[in-house]
Structure 1
Amino acid sequence: MRLTLFNEGRLGLVDGDDLVDVTDRLAGPGTPGPAGALHRYIETAARDGAARLDVSGLPRVPLTEAVLRAPLPRPGKIVGAPVNYLDHKAEMEYSTSIADLGVFLKANSSVIGPGQDIVLPYTDKRTDQEGELGVVIGRTTSHVSAGEALDHVFGYTCVLDITVRSGEDRSTRKSFDTFTPLGPWVVTADEIPDPDSLDLRCDVGGTTRQRTNTADLIFGVRELIAYTSSVMTLHPGDVIATGTPAGVGPLSHGDRVVLDIERIGRLEVGVDGSRAAPYEQRPGRRSG
């Protein structure tokens, strides 16, 4: 299944050129809250098992007429994998990789969906795109082995890990509002038997900047889940951004960023630099 949120937070299943509104069937009664209807379904599926879904008779909306939202607008947590491709390690001239650095956390308030804009914070600090495969956790996971890790995955999505090249800690530089575009949907794990064999391409302004296959990850998806779950318990709806390949580069006002991952889909967002300010004018700056 391909599941996403659309219009006013309805839960949609992609069926050909349509979105089938499965909110009432999968998310249950009542308001799902800020985490969204898909998050509620993932939690329900973890507890009660995935629903066998008959979509006959359910309302449909053409994809071209729907406004897609981030499928998980407020994940419980977003885990990042720094320096998880050797070519990215080389281009940034890092002496360390994920094996040395471990993982980091991004603020869940940084999530936006398809068609929205990345907002550049500074006029004089480079802000880069980083195209990544996203893993959505489906079961509470702690100290899982690499061999069993994929049994704990609900699905996969496209993630852009936007990053300011300044001096702060990674979690600060990557947690500005709008810095985690996510979508356009979550593809359930049964449709992707091997997440470590997916082509990934990221274009900015019509030019391809990043092209790789997830086979080149230093920590593959299985190993990354195993390592992360040895540090922190993962919960249904948590997202792991698996790391970015070589080709990161600066974003400018008016750019269109397109991330395309094989078997998952295409995530496209804009870039807005109209509110950017000089770095030295940031709140909390200390002189001397």
Structure 2
Amino acid sequence: MKLCRFNGGRLGVVRPEGIVDVTPVLDLLPAQRYPLPRHDLLIAHLPALLPAIEAAAAVGERFDPVQVFYDPPVANPGKIIGAPINYQAHAQESASNAQIGHGRAITSIGDWGLFLKAGSALVGVSAPITLRFPERRNDHEIELAVVIGRRCHQVAQADALQHVAGYATALDMTLRGTEFQCFRKSIDSYAVLGPWLVTADEVPDPGALDLWLNVNGEPRQRANTRQLIYDVPRLIAFASSFYTLEPGDVIMTGTPEGVGPVLPGDLIEAGVQGLGDLAMRVAPDYA
């Protein structure tokens, strides 16, 4: 199933005939009181809600997919987790390009560990990416995003995929510089997710997906997730060895080689095989 959030928080099922509005299903979510949970309620209850979603999709209003405004498919991720230098060719280009590496020793993801992006950086694919700091380089990074569906801690690699709700296309936008990654990559609009969430049952092998990205029609990034240094099960196990992963947490699995700068007004087109493509404008002015 493909699920999207659109037009200001409505819930939709993506079908060949269009987006079917199933928003009334959200009324079935349990009421919450303070202190609120640290996870995404819809993702946490998604397995139980699937029959109601299917029933609502049989009668819901249909929308043209090209006419709606796409919100992030996960509304409230407790954590957005990034995986640095997780493709060997990207590690090599980072080591050889001072504008990317900025003098850091480029070793391995095992040495660097993971990093967190602020939740306030999250946008859907219909929002603009608003760059900051015109004197510095701002780069695109296409990535496979993994959305956690079940709470897990210190999970084994062999069991990791059982805790996945689904997958999405992501952009990990990056301000180049010497600061920590969690700082440079947490700028508002620098975590793009969408256009929708594809449930895990439709992605039998997240380790064999093509990724691509163009800027203004120019091919920039081409790769396949089989080239990941830490594949999806290993990333989940690695992350959960440090953090408790909650429903709705997002793991951005790393970007391949070909990262490059974008400027105000640029058109970014990108996608991950089977997960949906995006076309986003960089805002015409810096923030």
Judge same fold: TM > 0.5, yes or no. yes
- 2:216 corresponds to 1:215: no
2:165 corresponds in structure 1 to 154
Counterpart Cα distance in 1 of 2:112 and 2:260 = 22
1:280 corresponds in structure 2 to none
Contact 1:73 1:112 in 2 (8 A): no
Counterpart Cα distance in 2 of 1:157 and 1:223 = 18
Runs of 5+ unmatched residues, structure 2: 96-104
- TM-score (norm: length of structure 2): 0.89
Code of the aligned partner of 1:192: V
3-state DSSP class of the match of 2:155?
Answer: coil
Q: How does 1:34-183 map to 2 (within 5 A)?
A: 39-45=40-46, 48=48, 50-51=50-51, 53-54=54-55, 55-93=57-95, 95-183=106-194
Contact 2:264 2:286 in 1 (8 A): no
Q: Which runs of 4+ in 1 moved over 4 A?
A: 29-33
CA, structure 1 residues 148+50, in 2 after alignment: closer, same or farther (shift >3 Å)? farther
RMSD: 2.1
Contact 1:204 1:256 in 2 (8 A): yes
CA, structure 1 residues 269+184, in 2 after alignment: closer, same or farther (shift >3 Å)? same
Structure 1 residue 51: Cα displacement? 3.2
Alignment size in residue pairs = 272
3-state DSSP class of the match of 1:119?
Answer: coil
Contact 1:132 1:159 in 2 (8 A): yes
Counterpart Cα distance in 2 of 1:271 and 1:263 = 24
3-state DSSP class of the match of 2:170?
Answer: strand
Structure 1 residue 197: Cα displacement? 0.3
Q: How does 1:136-285 map to 2 (within 5 A)?
A: 136-272=147-283, 274-275=285-286
Structure 1 residue 268: Cα displacement? 2.0
Structure 1 residue 49: Cα displacement? 6.7
Report percent identity of matched pairs: 43
- TM-score (norm: length of structure 1): 0.89
Counterpart Cα distance in 1 of 2:11 and 2:22 = 6
Structure 1 residue 273: Cα displacement? 5.3
Runs of 5+ unmatched residues, structure 1: 277-288
Between stretches 163-172 and 112-121, larger displacement belongs to: 112-121
Contact 1:146 1:226 in 2 (8 A): yes
3-state DSSP class of the match of 2:116?
Answer: strand
Structure 1 residue 182: Cα displacement? 0.9
Counterpart Cα distance in 2 of 1:104 and 1:29 = 31
